[in-house]
Structure 1
């Protein structure tokens, strides 16, 4: 891998480590410490994710216009300002305001990170995006593991740790990313001279992102309704945080095994996504009957295998479809779709649990995954007249 990609990987790891101190515990903090209902917690997380959607789209646009260096620094500075405020005021409603601003600032960062990864190692194909994805999950493993431990002493330390890690990320970006941006040499946003083909690519992207959205609506329940549910059945905060440590560690350690397992269909990302969706369904089927910690461990392991197939595949498809000069815009759509799932997921989950039950929620989520499979199976139809059905990766 190029040296510049390693800098992006390290920055992403530090960034996600900081945020992972907080995001797995948001619902628990809102519900148990601030005394809000699960539905209200879902609304708060929806505001955070909605701001991230706006940040993703703006961040992708800024990447195409200004380059990754300036875009990333802007996003980091906005986030640092909000985290500084959160350290001073984290009661109600200040917490909501600062969490929303954090969502916007961090949302600006992610499309540029992914677009830069694709630009510095174009020959790497899926490998470049998978490297960034693995870095994210090292951050998840470290941050979530330490977050549960730190929170058992005081939530104030959680806010401080997040702030300090973002300062480290700012320094890495400030001194490490300027040359990367210059090497990338991206043009401003321009339309291709073949508008019909352009529309077919965009249509294909929007279809696969529709499936991606449904997958995230289910996945985010582990950070919201399932997080609260584990507390109700006397699974400790440390144990819950340990689930995310398992998630991140498995993603890092199981890469060699995954590479061998997907060898037969590594050049067909659609098949990877569909298999991953089936595995997601199996995970929630196990979680629906879980009443002890070890069953949740099993469900998390299954969930992790599914995400290892799906999460890196979608930005890889976006990079393959993106016309020259619009890489940031296409990655912005992908990131905003994931964030959209994180936005509406906690609200849907909170309402379903408050009005019905956890079991009804699990049934609805499995239905969502069936719909995601159908959409995934047909996303590349708009490309058939112009391009091969499968997207080749290296």
Structure 2
């Protein structure tokens, strides 16, 4: 046991102090992100929105994410990652506190658009900061550490969120989210102020770097990731509603099931990524494997009678997530041209924003029109399309060796 623990701890060695601070800031921020996993239930139960209206609110959420990611990429290159992250955290905290007082459909759509735009401004900036604070050989593990912080926060967040809803109601989630965003901003000021933090990436910048919009292979890669995102975001919109309306789980049970995802990632992702890196497997091939596991997870929704199948399905989708996201992030950072990293990672973040725009709403509309079983089949078909596209990207990237 002692040897196993030491092996696990060794996977974290060599990461810079700034990366650890960045991970702690992320943990504080994400631990308070309790509204998002329960958003579809909040809109359905507390505000009384129809499934169709819930889908359109999710679309507003996605458009806000798209705009915020685009703006964050620009600001990261112009203002720097530090100022961009700080503005995002403080503005998001204020937004969460104010959003609880809005209840009409159009106001909620506009409110969530603005909130997520501010929140996702920080996404490309976090990637740029992570790249700046990591040596080239440590970037994939640094990305994994940040994901561990995110998922540890998400493992605690939904579980606490379910308790808060049961005890004081949904409005308590908005207060928790708002306060933790501001705390994360204060922690950023104290630890990663440019006067205190030291960049460790010594890679040279190149002259006149290629715009990501002209990088055809990168665009194809992002389209495939957007398809993956459409499938994956179902676990934050249609799947929680399915858990409640078809499998009759309570909010607390749903919170624990979603929290299992983050807990598994916290325990197993870093050793898994370290093992796969030692094997030297192709990054795109790893993303494809993650995509396959995610698609397979929907098959467990057809197995009725025992809710343990839902737990197994969550384990399978978590395995897919653990493989696909770190290596997808690493490929994007490797592809990014130095000097335009903000633009590259902004576009990378926008691919998932597109998934929020089309994924949540299309999932809700499909459920509303055809039911859950046919919706899961559509998600599997989308997965197959994304896998084929990634196979093409893998073939081309091997030829040009990037």
Query: Do they superpose with TM above 0.5?
Result: yes
**1:1-394 pair list within 5 angstroms:** 1-19=15-33, 21-90=34-103, 92-123=105-136, 124-153=138-167, 154-179=169-194, 183-184=198-199, 192-193=207-208, 202-233=215-246, 234-255=248-269, 257-259=271-273, 262=276, 265-290=279-304, 292-383=306-397, 387-388=400-401
Change (3 A) 1:181 1:103: farther
Q: CA contact under 8 A between 1:53 and 1:336: conserved in structure 2? A: yes
Per the TM alignment, residue 177 of structure 1 is displaced from its structure 2 partner at its CA by 2.1
Give unmatched runs, 5+ long, in structure 1.
Answer: none
Q: CA contact under 8 A between 2:151 and 2:261: conserved in structure 1? A: yes
Q: CA contact under 8 A between 1:38 and 1:225: conserved in structure 2? A: no
Change (3 A) 1:356 1:323: same
CA RMSD, 1 decimal = 2.3
Q: Distance in 1 between matches of 2:62 and 2:143?
A: 22
Change (3 A) 1:380 1:259: closer
Secondary structure (helix, strand or coil) at the match of 1:323 reads: coil
TM-score scaled by length of structure 1: 0.90
Paired residues in the alignment total 382
TM-score scaled by length of structure 2: 0.89
Change (3 A) 1:341 1:194: closer
Q: Which residue of 1 aligns with 2:6?
A: none
Q: Which residue of 1 aligns with 2:3?
A: none
Q: CA contact under 8 A between 1:46 and 1:346: conserved in structure 2? A: yes
Q: Distance in 1 between matches of 2:95 and 2:213?
A: 40
Q: CA contact under 8 A between 1:218 and 1:365: conserved in structure 2? A: yes
Change (3 A) 1:325 1:62: same
Per the TM alignment, residue 377 of structure 1 is displaced from its structure 2 partner at its CA by 0.8
